[in-house]
Structure 1
Amino acid sequence: MLNFPEQWLKNISLGEHIANELRLRILENSIKPGEVLSENQIARQYGTSRSPVRDALKALSNDGLIQLERMGAVVLGLSLRDLQELYDVREMIEYFAQQRVSGKDMNAMLVLLCQNIERMELAARFDDHSDFAYYDLTFHETIIRHSSHQRILNLWNSMRPLIMAVILVTTEDVFSHGKEHVEWVIDKHRKVVEAMQTDNKAIIEKSVSNYFDDSRRTLNKSFPSSTESGNN
């Protein structure tokens, strides 16, 4: 069973914790489309009142994962098209962020990016899927934060929990294909750093495009049960 990394769970509310777990179970298809989520049942499961559960369900509704109903919700899941659109937005954000930081002093940011790659390598060595996924997300978030654009950061933060859950699922699939595939993912991140070190906007643009072309192929393999038709 997939679990969120410990670093992710620090200083979050109970509602966020419940949302994290339900979000991941929906994405890995252990909670299936059409199932009903009961506020009362979830509250009993977590030993809490219905208030944090409502907060969790509202967050999942904002993700498009469920449809709110009286005293609960119906699970919608995400189609492959939904996931691809999520990655379209990621690509636009990261392209903007990388172009925005180019031409500036990137030394401190590049050090942090290399540290994240080292932590991904360490997680791979110890077969720690959750940590690998966390440092994958942190790598990209580092670039976005260094773009110093508050509205872009707000947009990223609104999608961040869903992106983390998707990366956890894709990471599990990557590890299932062996060490060579894990190293391929790490190398993708090295290439992003190498492109940024050139400080050439055309090379950076090509690097972002290549990265997300590969990521969409990984999505297709990791979510084979998703449909193209969508939920609506």
Structure 2
Amino acid sequence: MGRRGRVSLAERVYEELRHDLATGTLQPTERLRAERLAQRYGVSRTPVREALARLEADGLVQRHTDGLYLYRPRLDELDELYELRIVLESRGFQRIAAGGSVQVHVPAAHDLPTVRAELARWREYRDTPPEPGPDLVAADERFHTELLRAAGNPALVEALTAVYLRVRPVRTMDVPTAERVAAMTAEHITIAEQVLAGDDQALQTLTAHIQSSRAHVRVRAEQAIAFTKLGRAVRD
């Protein structure tokens, strides 16, 4: 009984810690101390250490000389992850374009009700802009994963979700201006409208949108790296 209870507790801490890291509740620059986390989740240090070990194995936590921190991709990794994101999302649109192909069974069109639901959501955001922060990042990810899901290949969605998990620590550190939020909202609306209209420009609009996001996130990553180096220099 004791063993099963301890494993169950470690699982709970793992899920809660994973959620807090993904949503930005815990700051990416914060050292993940077992003692402090144990107090936060109301448990002993043992299940926290087990949870941290699992997160490190998942690649979501990385070890530095002074302890564990939320994984943040290097600049070259960030570029590679965004390149993969473009490949995955573009493939969804290409599957639709290849609907008549005899080589592979693909849907003839997107799951249009799903696209319409996302369009309605972002039109509401246009009228009532969301606050910058983790919820906005989650809404943005939902838009892209839902459009890819609507293309009919769940494996592509799983791969895209894995990419988001790795770039999210940098994205949640980025606080966009009201102008950027408005631009992102307008671009989402345009992409969804083009998909619903069967416009071939949808893929081009999507790619430009992702490239713009990469440029902003890369700048934030560069700033975070400089800040981290400065902080370590001060501590040393």
Which residue of structure 1 lines up, in the alignment, with residue 194 of structure 2? 195
Which residue of structure 2 lines up, in the alignment, with residue 54 of structure 1? 50
5+ residue gaps, structure 1:
1-11
**Deviation string, structure 1 residues 1-36 (Cα, Å, up to 9, x no partner):** xxxxxxxxxxx94312212334566995532xxx5x
1:28-177 to structure 2, matched below 5 A, reads: 29-31=28-30, 37-49=32-44, 50-51=46-47, 53-63=49-59, 65-67=61-63, 74-75=68-69, 77-102=72-97, 103-121=108-126, 124=129, 127=131, 129-170=133-174, 172=175, 174=176, 177=177
Q: Which amino acid aligns with 1:58?
A: R
Of the two structures, which has the highest relative contact order with CA contacts closer than 8 Å and spacing of 6 or more? 1
Contact 1:196–1:204 (Cα < 8 Å) also in 2 = yes
Q: Distance in 2 between matches of 1:81 and 1:27?
A: 25
Which residue of structure 2 lines up, in the alignment, with residue 21 of structure 1? 20
| Matched positions, count | 204
- 2:152 match: secondary structure: coil
- 1:74 match: secondary structure: strand
Quote the offset at 1:189 in angstroms.
Answer: 1.0
Instruction: Quote the sequence identity (%).
Output: 14
Q: Distance in 2 between matches of 1:84 and 1:58?
A: 26
Q: Which amino acid aligns with 1:153?
A: V
Quote the offset at 1:96 in angstroms.
Answer: 1.1
Please report the TM-score for the alignment, with normalisation by the length of structure 2: 0.68
Quote the offset at 1:43 in angstroms.
Answer: 2.4
Q: Distance in 1 between matches of 2:26 and 2:191?
A: 27
Q: Which amino acid aligns with 1:156?
A: L
5+ residue gaps, structure 2:
1-10, 98-107, 227-236
Q: Distance in 1 between matches of 2:127 and 2:43?
A: 37
Q: Confirm whether residue 225 of structure 1 aligns to residue 230 of structure 2.
A: no
Quote the offset at 1:139 in angstroms.
Answer: 0.6
Contact 1:120–1:131 (Cα < 8 Å) also in 2 = no
Quote the offset at 1:88 in angstroms.
Answer: 1.6
Q: Distance in 2 between matches of 1:118 and 1:109?
A: 14
- 1:110 match: secondary structure: helix
CA RMSD for the aligned pairs? Answer: 3.4
